[in-house]
A and B are shown apart, each in its own frame.
Chain A
């Protein structure tokens, strides 16, 4: 509290100002009382009017006097709220029951946090703007008017076009087989089998990839009623890790104007897992780290790294 006092609050003037306010309020209410009571009984009408006007004048004068007094005191009180970085909320620190209501310290904490958040968000948006391939960068680069136009066109691609893109990718990679189905209307689902290494379930929305789940070659990918099981995860830690990385890859490969390029890039990246169990880590040279093989594949070079060895 000491530092708040030093900001320049004149406590005595403050107390006087409060009593000045009280005085002002009572004189104002006297004015209204006088008006309410109206003219009192006097012998003559003239006498009655004179007495009423004199009384009313007195009351207005005292209102005027009290108002002047309050203005004078308010100058003495100073303006502590403007000097404080938290403005009026800084006055919370004057609350004598600090222990019961730690509102002020919480407020300071929140203030620091929001400051930091703003700073980091600024840095992040600067970095993202430099990466032209990312979804956010594109949407930020494109003007707000153009964006809603671009999205719907790629979302209403005819199924035939999607089929063509997928079958072209299927022919591109001999060790990869892609089975396309549409169990829920127009959205396609892919079951990608990569050699004898893994299976990937890919849920599409038009040509956008919405979700992927990676499972082992010998794991079941169907539910009991014979549909692709898009919810349950692999029993093996290695494929759970690869699923996480594939989800990261979906966010990395984004080019809203050319969704077919995105799907092809993603599949090319996915194909590098054909050597999931055969490629040692390019950084530490080992196969295993904490019981897991190198599960990360670099987005550009497709080199194998352990999750903790990549940079």
Chain B
């Protein structure tokens, strides 16, 4: 099913980006967004309907991955830095960056990672009682031409930025969650072969937390350099040094990829969202309990 000439040429770009077998729903997304002729798109929406995850869809590989896409990056650890007691997010970020500068790290521009959540639309859920999946569409300023799409615990897809257009077209299948956009922005620091990014995580207008990303460029196998990375993290995070990220454990001596970093950011964003929910719930509880107090003061 090799669509237009355009996609044919893309197929030759490399089996190195081959999709995990059985993930045919992703294959479809690849294909449609690569600018396939309208007739073929129509065909597929028929085949696929009413569900996106149609297991009989033929397997396509990586039609829209840019050929310049880097295979690997250095092993990276993304973690959350708690806000220091009695300090604002901004003040804690300043403390952290000052520590880095004292260490000898040099400022090297800025960075941004953003994430938007999509629900599987209720109308597309199959009769087999499949639960609605959440999908995260993310961007990373380190890879300005790419777009990442992730399922929770699922595969990570790397596409070009056309994917954003595709998501608009797939409104019937995926709906953007309300006010779900979360992002982190901050400064990049270079220290020897380490790249450190300290960012302020924001949801809507307000700052919700601090993200710390540390990449060790020379090493591509996570289990090889975790001890080394830990020693570096301890040198400026002290008691807030995180444990090994979950993605490190998954693949024994596999080469670390940028998708692994995006998975870590997704998990960090989810963690911060949950923290906010607990915070709000706590506030609600407080408010109701104070109300009931007031009620009890009324003479009966």
Contacts and interface: CB of A to CB of B under 8 A. Distances in A.
A53 interface: no
B193 A236 contact: yes
Contacts of B132: none
Contacts, number: 59
B71 interface: yes
Interface residues of B, number: 24
Contacts of B220: 196, 216-218
B141 interface: no
A278 B192 contact: no
Contact of B225 (A218, A236, A278, A291): A278
Nearest to A217: B220
Contacts of A269: none
A291 B191 contact: yes
A84 interface: no
Nearest to B253: A196
Interface string A261-291: 0000000000000000110100000111011
A273 B191 CA distance: 22
Contact of B227 (A217, A278, A290): A278
Given A218-B72, A236-B217, A288 B228 contact: yes
B151 interface: no
A306 to B, nearest CB: 12
Interface residues of A, number: 20
A132 interface: no
Contacts of A292: 192-193
Contacts of B191: 291
A256 interface: no
Contacts of B217: 216, 235-236
A237 interface: yes
A286 B253 contact: no
A277 B225 contact: yes
B217 to A, nearest CB: 6
A291 B233 CA distance: 11
Contacts of B221: 196-197
A223 B109 CA distance: 29
A277 B192 contact: no
Contact of A238 (B104, B218, B253, B255): B218
B231 A218 contact: no
B194 A286 contact: no
Interface string B212-235: 000011111100110110011001
A277 B216 CA distance: 10
B100 to A, nearest CB: 12
A197 to B, nearest CB: 7
State the majority secondary structure of interface residues on A: loop
Contacts of B71: 218
Contacts of A217: 72, 220, 255
A216 B218 contact: yes
Nearest to B232: A288
B255 A196 contact: yes
A234 to B, nearest CB: 8
A237 B253 contact: no
Nearest to B256: A218
Interface string A191-212: 0000011000000000000000
B201 to A, nearest CB: 27
A286 B104 CA distance: 19
Given A196-B253, A237-B193, A277-B225, A287 B231 contact: yes
A237 B228 contact: no
Contacts of A259: none
Contacts of A218: 71-74, 220, 255
A112 B194 CA distance: 47
A288 B233 CA distance: 11
Contacts of A197: 219, 221, 224
A99 B73 CA distance: 64
Contacts of A290: 192
A291 B194 contact: yes
Nearest to B223: A278
Contact of A287 (B73, B74, B227): B227
A164 to B, nearest CB: 32
Contacts of B253: 196
Contacts of B232: 288, 291
A239 B194 CA distance: 13
A290 B103 CA distance: 9
A235 B193 CA distance: 9
B89 to A, nearest CB: 28
Nearest to B71: A218
A239 B228 contact: no
Contacts of A277: 216, 218-219, 224-225, 228
Contact of A288 (B73, B74, B104, B231): B231
Contacts of A236: 193, 217-218
A278 B225 CA distance: 6
Contact of B224 (A237, A239, A278): A278
B234 to A, nearest CB: 10
16 contacts: A196-B221, A196-B255, A197-B224, A216-B217, A218-B71, A236-B193, A237-B192, A239-B218, A277-B219, A277-B225, A277-B228, A278-B228, A280-B227, A288-B228, A288-B231, A288-B235
